Structure 1
Amino acid sequence: MNVGMRVRGGLLAALIMVAVPVAASLAAVVVSSPVAAQTVDSIQVEGNRRVEVATIRSYFKAGPGGRLDQPHIDDGLKALIETGLFQDVRINQAGGRLVVTVVENPVIGRVVFEGNKKVKDEQLTGEVQSKPRGTLSRPVVQSDAQRIAEIYRHSGRYDVTVTPEIIEQPNNRVDLIFTITEGAKTGIQSVNFVGNVAYSSYRLRDIIKTRESNLLSFMGGSDTYDPDRIEADRDLIRRYYLKHGFADVQVVAALTEYDPQRKGFMVTFTIEEGQQYRVASVNFQSSIGSLDGNSLSRFSRVNVGSLYNAEALEKSVEEMQIEASRRGFAFAIVRPRGDRNFEAHTVSIVFTIDEGPRTYIERINIRNNTRTRDYVIRREFDIAEGDAYNRALVDRAERRLKNLDFFKTVKISTEPGSSSDRVILIVDLEEKSTGDFSVSGGYSTTDGPLAEVSISERNFLGRGLFAKASVTYGEYARGISLSFVEPYLLDYRVALGLDTYYREQLPNNYISYGTKTLGISPRLGLALREDLTLQLRYSIYEQDISLPSYLNNCNNNPSNGLLAFNPSPAWVAGNGGPPVATAMGATDISGMGLWCYSDGEASLPVRKELANGSTLTSAIGYTLNYNTLDNNKNPTDGLMIDFKQDFAGVGGDVTYLKTAIDAKYYTPLVSDIVGLVHVQTGLLTQVGNNAIRMLDQFQMGPNLVRGFAPNGIGPRDINPYGTQDALGGTKYWGASLEMQMPFWFLPKEIGLKGAVYADAGGLYDYTGPTSWAATGEVNTPGCVPPTNPSAHPNVPPNPGTCLGLQYDSSSVVRSSVGVGLIWASPFGPLRFDYAVPLTKSPYDRVQQFRFGGGTSF
């Protein structure tokens, strides 16, 4: 009995011990949990200072009957927290009411950046989300710190640390300070390629934008690690292979590793080249009954037997689709298909033309262009709102916008329109600075030291205009120029340019005279095709020539038939002539006359031009340019041809027709060696009765055959007592063979390469003045001037002989061989040449070493 009672008592005690905590817990839940019978109006708000009560209540959405149940209360709590306005939010029940207690986030008074030297405050302010007079949110602050660090990493500083600090101020305000430790610049220590067989690593480093760090890396930023640039390089490598026949190429990886010992990144591109393919056949298939596919064949840039070229394929598709649209098939879609023959390494190209979906452009929305006017962007589109949607034209517009160089990024995407057959084009842009201020410096063996200060703007007033002003000052050359270009004249794709200039060329080692030229030249340029452009121009300029007084003595002598010198009476009498009084204070030296050539004399055409005064030239001309170079700055493949003609005589004082052709062909040879064939020719034709001035004739030197001085070849005044000025010629031709090769033992980033070359050419047929009646100088063919004037500097030739212009008219072919050093330096492209002439005229002037270059800094 007692035992049973004890057992039951123990069980009862145990139950009581278990039940009491459970009951207490349930009671606590009931007390702390809001009941479901609350309404929004009955919510009591506590702790708010800036946020209105009604605003806080608005986040709680009542259910059926206007009541708040537990799920609705939980949703309201989450919504309040997500606003970022509060540090803490709590919900309790007190006195039968729902109490929402909030702790508001403080207001930011200032956002300050400390320790940043490489990135300006303005750039960081534009990137962070925390703003003055905004609400402080600690998650946003941490996100801002990460964003700042990311900006530094994109500029190559991976050791950066960003520490945010919050300093409390009165009235629930704070100052937010980001303390930045920038760290050292983290560069690219090596760029390697794995799997490349067809192209060397040296060649592929030319393709990509990323560069290895070197001693001159401080001049640029391409040696810093940028993941976006690495991804862009992968695409550049892939497109390069696709352009050269490797249809199966894959850049499977771009591995980047940080080396703590070298304190830099190692970048390795892994390439699977595949086979190189040639085009076996090109066919056209059209599913549109009234459109013959073969009629579009002339727009194909893919030829049978040529290497497969994905870039040419893309351009072919674009031009075919645009042509189909012109013919009224606005919805035609051209798709290329390539059928590979893996054994023969060939691919058969089939262009299929199908009717695409009938989709129209509802709107073109342009976003983020804060400076550039909308119409500047819209005029790059060949389609507008309401036109048929044509992907080829959209791609062309995107490419044109990128080529403007107004924007960092350009992306055109589509969104559904108001109906299934409508699309909206979205043009997302990120603008960049388009103004340039440059101070340029250079030196050449021709012009000596030279400096230029220029300011230019590619997007003037946000209207897409180009404007530039520059001032040049050097030892022998000076000038000022103003240029302006309107790329869309009257809303047509025709560029109108206007150049005004003043140039002054001083006498130097190569010419005895100086010139001053003041002119203006309007021009029109238009693209006939992507590789063919035409420029029309008109030029009007006034030119003056100047000479030191001691080079123009003969022209000041009194006229008496023998005015090429100033004879003494004794000299004249001794030669059977009547005595003539000396002029200009001439004195008799040992019975001989003081000849005006004794102190040197400019050539007859120069002196005659000086006597004529300033000359006005008015000319119209054009240039037709064909360019398929793979890179305009550092070409390795392609052809460029310039054909120029200028006709002077549209008013003015001179008339002539000048024609010039210049062609350069680059081709890769073996082991990164590039071959260059350069040919040029020119012809100057007299028009009407006006003789061609010496100043209008072609002047040639190292620009035609290296190893000769400027104005060093061609017809020349051979009077040994004069300055022996170059006279120029009306015909020239030149040919050059050159091989450019890298220095494989040097890092690619240094930018050095060598060249060996052979040049040949000639300048002939001087047709300028050879006599001058005003001075009595009459050309005497066959006259041979003294060969040793230094023995008798004051003894003139026999009267009536060698008084007019005597010049070297030999037609010998000038030739030379030489070596060159080409440096793509941070100071701009520099070139050093040493050439040895093989064949020349006795009167040619040689300059074996030549150097030139310079850039902006």
Structure 2
Amino acid sequence: MHDTAGAAAKASRDGARIRKRLLTAVFLSTATASSTFLAPAFGQQYAFNQVVIEGNQLVDNATILGFAGIRRGEALTQAGLNDAYQGLVRSGLFETVEIVPQGGQLVIRVKEYPIVNVINFEGNRRLKDEDLAKVVRSQARRVYSPSMAEADAAAIAEAYQARGRIAATVTPKLIRRSGGRVDLAFEITEGRVIEIERLSFVGNRAFSDRRLRQVLETKQAGLLRNVIQRDTFVPERLELDKQLLRDFYLARGYIDIQVSDASGEVARERDAVFVSFSIREGRQYRFGNITTVSEVAGVDAGEFGALSRVRSGVPYSPVVVENTIARMENLALRKGLNFVRVDPRITRNDRDGTLDLEFALVRGERVFVERIDIEGNTTTLDQVIRRQFRSAEGDPFNPREVRQSAERIRALGFFSDAQVDARPGSASDQVVVDVNVEEQPTGSLSLGASYGVDAGVGLNIGFSESNFLGRGQAFSVAISSGADDTSSSISITEPAFLGRDLSLSLGAFYDLTKQKNAIYDTANVGLRTALSFPVGELSRLEIRYGLSKNTLKNYRGRDVNGDGTIDPVTERNPTLVAEAAREGEITSAIGYTFSYDTRIGGLSPDRGVVLRFSQDYAGLGGDAKYISSALQALGERSVLNEEVTLRAIFEAGAISPLGGYNTRVTERFFGNGKIRGFEGNGIGPRDQVTGDALGGNFYAVARFEADFPIGLPEEYGLSGGVFMDVGSVWGLKGNVVDAAGAPIDTGFNPRAAVGVSVLWDAPIGPLRFNFSRALKKETYDREQRFDLTISTQF
């Protein structure tokens, strides 16, 4: 029993050992098989005696082997075959690639990409085919590349997005043709224009959203959203808008201004964009103590300090500081003080919100301009760009002058982009100034219509070129015809006569006018030349000469008695009869105009003063003998955080006959458009029998107006205004009588009118609708309760 049990136990132990050995054998065999299966592929070596290439028609065998990097007889691993495969795929020439080892032979099978036959654009209406062709890189008669086609589709979509069509989609499609060729078609879904529904600001306290929107290049969509293009969302434009906001605040003393973010959020329906600007204004700083010191031996700081236009107590403005520095450095150059630099040193006083400014005259580094290199101009002559620099080769290098020259080049309007940079020259004391420009069209052909309550409907056609023949000259031809007048003119202006800041203009004109409130016509034909040049930082002088023939034509008189005929004695004004008989008189006159405009220097962005005084002396030959003088003065200021603009304008004129000369109606003043509330030729001396306006030798007008928002969304471009005009036209030489022989009132009789205005910043120009009422008038004056004009800048 015991032996039996022991035998059984021994048999059990032996079975367990056998099972363990079997499991170990199975495990080891499995592990060996797995290790063989999981071993790296590159461990296997291939050697080929022959490489066979199949499927190629356009690409030769040597080129394919070159892309694959395979040599006959060379041993390759599986990794080497993979590299060969990737090289063929990266070549971009093959649609499919297959590499098959077959014993001592390697077979490479390829399917080449087809050749592009033509490139078509389908579904595009807003962008023309020729415009899209400039965007894509795929070309006809070249191998088709899927990656390039996808890149072209993305470029086309970006072109639409730049025009506000964010939802535009572009899909490249292939149309198979025989002979291994395909037509590449870009299917375009343009989508709607995504307009800016709202421009908002966060963090602005000193200025309202309405005021800040006026600063931006981007605009909200308004009434004419299908006409105005600046209300489309262009992400690249946001950076420009951020800089415009910074400049706006800096010019008003907010030195800590930060425009931290500008983002555009697309509406869920993808039909509008909401743009928001985040602003940190900080406090406004004003100029404190202004001093000038000299750290250069022998240089008087007081002489330079007298040139400063910076005044204590006014808001800080970097433009004023830069202008003062330029003025001081120009004085140093005139005095032969080379390498003298003016450094502005600002001390910040946070307690009282002022900035103490010290202009320090220091000795700069001795660096010279080696040369000025100009590139990118194919039409514009080098000399047009070069004359914007105040320094030439060999002159001392002034970094500030280079920056100002860059601004002058951009201000020409000839270039879409202009970059001016300085780099080291051939020696340590030499600098090369590089100018890279990108030209843009400078000519325009205009065809349009105009309307005025007085002038009626008119047609205009004109051609202008601001860079004529690449010489920087302005050339223009214009013809306009209205209900009561026809005019034509031609002119050419050289802005840098004799290579200096002298503007020389030559022109000819012909005007034929049917006078309102008068039964006569006028004709004016002549030539004019003028020379204009600066006489100060903010002032300019023009000297001119004109030769013209002014004629009173077709004086018909008026059928006062209603009998169908006009009596030459009782129904015609004797003054006009006498002047009409003076047909063919010539006017030869020399004159000048002095103008002063504080807005040029940007001293105060919220206010400005303009003064103009002109005189013309007629008597250098010809028949006319007189001196004509005119004065214009304007003062304006923005108040209430620049929401409201107050403006006062004064104009006056006088013509003084010489040597017994009697002025003609073509030379006298009528005050047309000067006093609102009255028609053209509606005030001044008048023949009350015939109704003819005679004009006067004197006029004076004072206009006061205020422009302000009226609560409508600013994207409509509508604002309001109120005005009051006071003035008169008077004075005629000699005994002036009407057709009945009674004296005509030629005295100073002031008129006054008040009214309200609706201002519309329309795409065709700023329109002003005036609703007025005369408070003081004469019985023979002609009132006008409504007037529509295109507002012009004084």
- Into which bin does the TM-score normalised by the smaller protein fall? 0.7 to 0.9
Query: How does 1:751-790 map onto structure 2 within 5 Å?
Result: 751-767=717-733, 770=735
> What is the Cα deviation at residue 646 of structure 1?
1.4
1:651 counterpart SS class: strand
Gap change, CA 1:193 and 1:620, over 3 Å in 2: same
Residue 835 of structure 1: aligned partner: 772
2:261 counterpart SS class: strand
- Residue identity matched to 1:664: L
Q: Is the 8 A contact 2:41 2:78 kept in 1?
A: no
Using the alignment, how far apart are the partners of 1:454 and 1:218 within structure 2? 26
Using the alignment, how far apart are the partners of 1:54 and 1:326 within structure 2? 72
1:650 counterpart SS class: strand
- Higher mean C-alpha displacement, 419-428 vs 457-466: 419-428
1:317 counterpart SS class: helix
- Residue identity matched to 1:762: S
> What is the Cα deviation at residue 537 of structure 1?
2.1
Query: How does 1:653-668 map onto structure 2 within 5 Å?
Result: 653-668=623-638
> What is the Cα deviation at residue 421 of structure 1?
4.5
Q: Is the 8 A contact 2:768 2:791 kept in 1?
A: no
Residue 787 of structure 2: aligned partner: 850
Aligned counterpart for 1:446 among listed residues 448, 454, 460? 454
> What is the Cα deviation at residue 50 of structure 1?
5.2
Using the alignment, how far apart are the partners of 2:491 and 2:47 within structure 1? 77
Aligned counterpart for 1:120 among listed residues 103, 124, 128? 128
Residue 684 of structure 1: aligned partner: 655
Q: Is the 8 A contact 1:545 1:614 kept in 2?
A: no
Q: Does 1:606 align with 2:576?
A: yes
Using the alignment, how far apart are the partners of 1:738 and 1:432 within structure 2? 39
Q: Does 1:535 align with 2:542?
A: yes
Residue 714 of structure 2: aligned partner: 748
Using the alignment, how far apart are the partners of 2:63 and 2:387 within structure 1? 47
> What is the Cα deviation at residue 157 of structure 1?
0.8
- Residue identity matched to 2:646: G
Residue 221 of structure 1: aligned partner: 229
- Residue identity matched to 2:473: L
Q: Is the 8 A contact 1:623 1:645 kept in 2?
A: yes
Using the alignment, how far apart are the partners of 1:340 and 1:88 within structure 2? 70
Gap change, CA 1:513 and 1:27, over 3 Å in 2: closer
Using the alignment, how far apart are the partners of 1:421 and 1:33 within structure 2? 65
Q: Is the 8 A contact 1:604 1:770 kept in 2?
A: no
Using the alignment, how far apart are the partners of 2:628 and 2:338 within structure 1? 46
Residue 752 of structure 2: aligned partner: 815
Gap change, CA 1:676 and 1:854, over 3 Å in 2: closer
1:497 counterpart SS class: strand
1:441 counterpart SS class: strand
> What is the Cα deviation at residue 183 of structure 1?
0.3
Q: Is the 8 A contact 1:322 1:392 kept in 2?
A: no
Question: 1:620-678: per-residue Cα shift (whole Å, max 9, x none)?
Answer: 2222222234899xx96312222222121222211222111111111012261210011
Using the alignment, how far apart are the partners of 2:686 and 2:190 within structure 1? 65
Question: 1:303-349: per-residue Cα shift (whole Å, max 9, x none)?
Answer: 22221112222333344344444544554443323222112111111
Unaligned runs of 5+ in 1: 554-564, 566-584, 587-593, 772-778, 780-784, 790-795, 797-801
Aligned counterpart for 1:178 among listed residues 186, 204, 213? 186
Residue 729 of structure 1: aligned partner: 696
Query: How does 1:348-363 map onto structure 2 within 5 Å?
Result: 348-363=356-371
Q: Is the 8 A contact 2:528 2:544 kept in 1?
A: yes
Q: Is the 8 A contact 1:149 1:162 kept in 2?
A: yes
Query: How does 1:229-308 map onto structure 2 within 5 Å?
Result: 229-261=237-269, 263-308=271-316
Using the alignment, how far apart are the partners of 2:537 and 2:69 within structure 1? 62
Aligned counterpart for 1:696 among listed residues 638, 644, 667? 667
- Residue identity matched to 1:29: F
TM-score, normalised via structure 2 length: 0.86
Gap change, CA 1:156 and 1:24, over 3 Å in 2: closer
Q: Is the 8 A contact 2:46 2:77 kept in 1?
A: no
1:613 counterpart SS class: coil
Query: How does 1:47-446 map onto structure 2 within 5 Å?
Result: 84=92, 105-261=113-269, 263-446=271-454
Using the alignment, how far apart are the partners of 1:650 and 1:459 within structure 2? 34
Using the alignment, how far apart are the partners of 2:644 and 2:585 within structure 1? 48
Using the alignment, how far apart are the partners of 2:153 and 2:420 within structure 1? 31
Q: Is the 8 A contact 1:680 1:733 kept in 2?
A: yes
Gap change, CA 1:384 and 1:122, over 3 Å in 2: farther
Residue 640 of structure 2: aligned partner: 670
Using the alignment, how far apart are the partners of 1:530 and 1:51 within structure 2? 70
Residue 4 of structure 2: aligned partner: none
Q: Is the 8 A contact 1:89 1:100 kept in 2?
A: yes
Query: How does 1:619-634 map onto structure 2 within 5 Å?
Result: 619-629=589-599
- Higher mean C-alpha displacement, 97-106 vs 457-466: 97-106
Question: 1:737-760: per-residue Cα shift (whole Å, max 9, x none)?
Answer: 21111111x111222222222222
Q: Is the 8 A contact 2:521 2:555 kept in 1?
A: no
2:134 counterpart SS class: helix
Gap change, CA 1:854 and 1:682, over 3 Å in 2: closer
- Residue identity matched to 2:763: P
Residue 575 of structure 1: aligned partner: none
> What is the Cα deviation at residue 609 of structure 1?
1.8
Using the alignment, how far apart are the partners of 2:127 and 2:621 within structure 1? 58
> What is the Cα deviation at residue 25 of structure 1?
7.0
Residue 616 of structure 2: aligned partner: 646
Gap change, CA 1:128 and 1:262, over 3 Å in 2: closer
Q: Is the 8 A contact 2:520 2:556 kept in 1?
A: no
Using the alignment, how far apart are the partners of 2:424 and 2:277 within structure 1? 39
Using the alignment, how far apart are the partners of 1:851 and 1:640 within structure 2? 25
Gap change, CA 1:354 and 1:34, over 3 Å in 2: farther
Using the alignment, how far apart are the partners of 1:290 and 1:15 within structure 2? 100
Residue 569 of structure 1: aligned partner: none
Q: Does 1:492 align with 2:500?
A: yes
Q: Is the 8 A contact 2:461 2:479 kept in 1?
A: yes
Using the alignment, how far apart are the partners of 1:604 and 1:263 within structure 2? 70
- Higher mean C-alpha displacement, 330-339 vs 179-188: 330-339
1:158 counterpart SS class: coil
1:754 counterpart SS class: strand
Q: Does 1:825 align with 2:762?
A: yes
- Higher mean C-alpha displacement, 535-544 vs 453-462: 453-462
1:693 counterpart SS class: coil
> What is the Cα deviation at residue 160 of structure 1?
0.5
TM-score, normalised via structure 1 length: 0.80
Q: Is the 8 A contact 2:45 2:76 kept in 1?
A: no
- Residue identity matched to 1:827: I
Residue 529 of structure 2: aligned partner: 522
Aligned counterpart for 1:29 among listed residues 14, 24, 42? 42
> What is the Cα deviation at residue 373 of structure 1?
3.8
Gap change, CA 1:3 and 1:748, over 3 Å in 2: closer
- Residue identity matched to 2:129: D
Question: 1:530-578: per-residue Cα shift (whole Å, max 9, x none)?
Answer: 643333322111122112445599xxxxxxxxxxx9xxxxxxxxxxxxx
Question: 1:345-391: per-residue Cα shift (whole Å, max 9, x none)?
Answer: 11111233444444444554444444434443333233345544322
- Residue identity matched to 1:747: P
Using the alignment, how far apart are the partners of 2:290 and 2:63 within structure 1? 70
Using the alignment, how far apart are the partners of 1:73 and 1:490 within structure 2? 74
Q: Is the 8 A contact 1:605 1:770 kept in 2?
A: no
Count, aligned residues:
771
Using the alignment, how far apart are the partners of 1:157 and 1:417 within structure 2? 47
- Residue identity matched to 1:191: L
